[in-house]
Every structure is written in structure tokens, then in C-alpha cells.
Amino acid sequence: MSTTEKTVSSSLHQLEQQLADKNPALLQAFRLYHELDQVAYDLGLIGMDDSLANKTSWSPIITVIGDSGAGRNEFINRYLDTAIPAIDSFANHAQFTVLIHRSDETPMSLPGTAVDGDPRFPFYHISDRLNQIEQDESRHINTYLELTTNNSSKLKDKTIIFAPGFAPNIKSKGITLLRDHAVELSDLVFVFLDASKPNLEDLRSTLAPFLEMTTNSHNPGKFIYVINQAQDSDSPVDLASWKQQLSNLGLQSGQFFVLKQSTESNNQLAIEQKLANIDVESAYRILNTLEQHINEFDTVIIQEVKKAIVLWKDRSHFTVIVVLSCIAMTLVAGEIQFGLVALLLDPFVASIFLFLLIVTMIPLHFYSSKIHAKFISKKLVERQVELGLIENLAALFEKSLTFWRILLPYEQPVGWSKDVQETLDMIKTRAKGLVQSLNNTFNTSIFNSNKEDTFLNL
């Protein structure tokens, strides 16, 4: 394994300085990521400028989902309370908007390529996964994504993602991919539903898979369903009916608010309180993600590469067996026609034949192994994108194709040693200890604020 020490990029140095002032537990988590980076770098999974710390957001992420008329834009604009609305009420509701803080009073908008190409944003390299849905779909990244800024102080150190709702769309597969990706990274997810459209059966094809995904989430409590009532509506909202419909579509747990935009209701204040305490959710999410990334080394990354090595060996050996079978069949045919086997019984002829067989089969084995490796490497690249990994699975696989590994029955990826596994276990143990440290950071009042009875549970 390489003994070169991996450097920390300037952007990550800035993050480290921010965490030093913000939260000691997260600062230690960041340093554990650097140790994890060293392991990944030594294995050849990441480059000198890459970092596994980029796989998560170090600031809170809020995703707000809703179609036109559901009230998501109006609610966030009211919450941010700036002279210029953060989101235009007439904005494209079929597009994902990443909203970040910028001190300048004049808002700025950038195309989706800016989000896709920057590891600081939650949709980094999402275009690669879009290409798996449909060839060259990444060309339309700007129709899926945009970046917008606002100078609201409430937006500092936060990222808000405005995601389309569940109305049928011609790009439904791409929208579902981006929505699920945003939800997975988020600390709070608000799902806005229009009170004037109480029949959710029309949305079954898109809403039911989403609700199933929320059920499988490691933190189902982060999902909040807001039944939004228009300002001019006097009809009461039948919350029991809404709950029953969502339950019929697959929802098993969730928090509910009925919100009327024309009033500063207790529900509005309760939602804003959850937004104010999002740092708590974010910190625990970061530590949980760190543990997941450590576990992924063995359960996902190494297993994927190991399966690729086994497949490669099976195909290479099968090729050798096929060639040897052809030679054997040729000898049988030669024996029948010319008595060839009797000739091979001569020690001198047999020695020459065996020598020629060896000098032919070894290069053939190497050549066929390389051909099979190219196809498997390509599949690993696709698998890496499918799993949403930044670790270069193909690089570790190709690194494992050494001279002796081609000839001998080694199946473990090169560098995956007992020492490496012990290092990962040590990092994981320290990561678990940070949870207790984080518990001590947040006082009792913050935890109690997360347990208020303002909302209604299923």
C-alpha cells in the first residue's frame, strides 16, 4: 500500500475552521473523515484532491416538496422574510431549485451545471445518474436544476431545496431520482399538499413510491406533511381523511400540520421552531452518515470489487477451459484419423508439445484476462454511479489485477488487509463515541423542543 499522506484541499480546510467554531463533535467527525480518506486513497479508491467528506452536507439541508398551489413557495418566502422573495410564486414547479445564502441584496441565479459540478452542493454529479435513466439525459441538467441565492439571515449555513410535487410529468423518472436523492440527504422534509385537492388517488403512481421510500428511511420522523389551505377558503380541513388517504397509499408514520397562509397560526410557529432547531438534526445525520460510510467499505465497496474479481476469474478460467477443450477435441480427432496420441507418447515429442502448450496458453490466458477485465471495469463504473459512490471501484479492481493474482486464486482486492480492517474498526469506534459527545453539546431544552405536542402524529 502507498505510504503517501493525503492532503486536505483548501475548501475542506475552510470547513475545518468553521467547524472549530461551531461544534467540537463535528470537528472530530471531520478529522475522522480525513483518516477515512487516507484509507480510501491508499486503496486507490479516491484521488489526492477527492474526499469522502464531500459525500455528505456539513450544513443543514431542508427539502420542500410541492406542486403549484400547494403553498411551499409562499411559506418559505414568509419564513425568510426578505424584501425580495426568495422564490418567485410563478417559478417553474417542475424544476429543482437549490437556495443558498449570499449577503448581496441582489439575488443571483445560476444554471443546473453549477450545482452538478460543485461538491459543496447536494446534487454533485447527479448528471451521471441521470444518464443511467436515459442515454445523454445529462444534457438536460439545466431543465432539472437551478441555483438561487438570497440574503436572508435565516438562510445562513443552510441549504433549502425546492422539489417538484407529485403531479405526473414527462420526466417523471428523472424527477423521482432527484427528489429521492434530495430527501436522502435532508434533515427536514416538508411535503406540501393542496387542501383544495383532497383526492390523492389521482397521484397514486407518483406519491405511493415516495411514501414507501419514507417508510424505509433511517429517520422517518424528518418527514412533515403540511395541508395548505388557501387564504380565501373557509372550508374546514378533514385531517382524518387526509391521514387515511396517505395511509392507504403506504404512509406508516409522519407529522401533520394544517396551515392557512392568511394567519400566523400556532402550526406556522411550530414549523418554524423545527426549522430553528435543525442544527440538532443535521449534527446527528452527519455522524450517522460517517458510520454508514465506514460500513460501506466492507459491505458495499469491497464486496462489489470482490464480486467483480470472482466474476473476472470465472470468465478467464472458462476461456482457458474452452481452449483446452478445443485442443483435446483436436487430439481426439487426430487420434481417430492419424493415431496422433501414439505419437505424443514419445517423450521427446511430448516434451515439445507440452512446452508449446505452456508458451501458448500463458499469453492467451493473460490476453483473455485483460479483455474480460475491460468489460468488467466498465460494468463497475456503471455500478458506482448506480450506487451514488465517489469511490473508484474500477480503479481498485484494476489495481488487483497483478501478475500473481492472475495466476493464483486470490479473490480479496489488493490492499484489503487485516491492518486496514482494524484501522476502520478503530475509526468506527471513535465515531460512535462522538454521539455521546454530541449529546453533551445540546442542552435539554433543545431536545424538549423537538418533542412538543403541537403536531399530530399518525
Report the Cα–Cα distance between both ends of the chain, in Å, rounded. 53
pLDDT mean over 271-286: 85
Return phi, psi of residue 417, to 5°: -110, 175
The CA distance from 61 to 175, in Å, is 18
| 192 sits in which H/E element | strand 188-194
Return phi, psi of residue 62, to 5°: -120, 125
C-alpha neighbours within 13 Å on the C-beta side of residue 221: 7
pLDDT mean over 324-349: 62
pLDDT at 431 over 80: yes
Q: What is the pLDDT of residue 64?
A: 94
Per-residue model confidence as pLDDT tens digits over 400-428: 887 777 777 788 899 999 999 999 999 99
In the numeric block, which cell numbers belong to residue 215? 417508510
Amino acid present at 45 = L
Please enumerate in sequence order all residues whose Cβ is within 8 A of that of 263, keeping only pairs 6 or more positions apart, or say none.
none
In the numeric block, which cell numbers belong to residue 308? 467483480
Q: Indicate the SS3 state at residue 191.
A: strand
Per-residue model confidence as pLDDT tens digits over 362-374: 777 778 888 889 9
| 430 sits in which H/E element | helix 418-441
Q: What is the pLDDT of residue 112?
A: 92
**pTM score:** 0.79
In the numeric block, which cell numbers belong to residue 307? 464480486
pLDDT band for position 451 (cuts 50, 70, 90):
very low
pLDDT band for position 395 (cuts 50, 70, 90):
very high
Of 174, 164, 166, 107, the C-alpha closest to 134 is: 174
In the numeric block, which cell numbers belong to residue 43? 486503496
Report DSSP state, residue 300. Answer: I
CATH no. for 61-276: 3.40.50.300
pLDDT mean over 59-82: 86
In the numeric block, which cell numbers belong to residue 70? 400547494
Of 68, 174, 69, 65, the C-alpha closest to 112 is: 174
Q: Indicate the SS3 state at residue 81.
A: coil
Per-residue model confidence as pLDDT tens digits over 146-186: 999 999 888 888 999 999 988 877 678 899 999 999 999 99
Q: What is the pLDDT of residue 388?
A: 83
Q: What is the mean pLDDT of the chain?
A: 82
Q: Where in the chain is the domain with CATH 3.40.50.300?
A: 61-276
Per-residue model confidence as pLDDT tens digits over 197-207: 888 888 888 89
Q: Cα-Cα-Cα-Cα dihedral of 49, 53, 55, 59, to 10°?
A: -130
Report DSSP state, residue 137. Answer: G
**Long-range interactions of 410-418: CB distance < 8 A, separation 24+:** 410/309, 411/306, 411/309, 411/310, 411/313, 412/302, 412/306, 412/309, 413/43, 413/302, 413/305, 413/306, 413/309, 415/1, 415/42, 415/43, 415/44, 416/43, 416/302, 417/1
Q: Which residues pair with 319 in a beta bridge?
A: none
Cβ 53 vs Cβ 406: under 8 Å: no
Q: What is the pLDDT of residue 377?
A: 93
pLDDT at 327 over 80: no
What DSSP line would sit under 318-375, residue for residue?
A: HHHHHHHHHHHHHHHHHHHHH-HHHHHTSHHHHHHHHHHHHHHHHHHHHHHHHHHHHH
Using left for φ > 0, alpha for ψ between -120 and 50, and beta otherwise, residue 224 falls in: beta
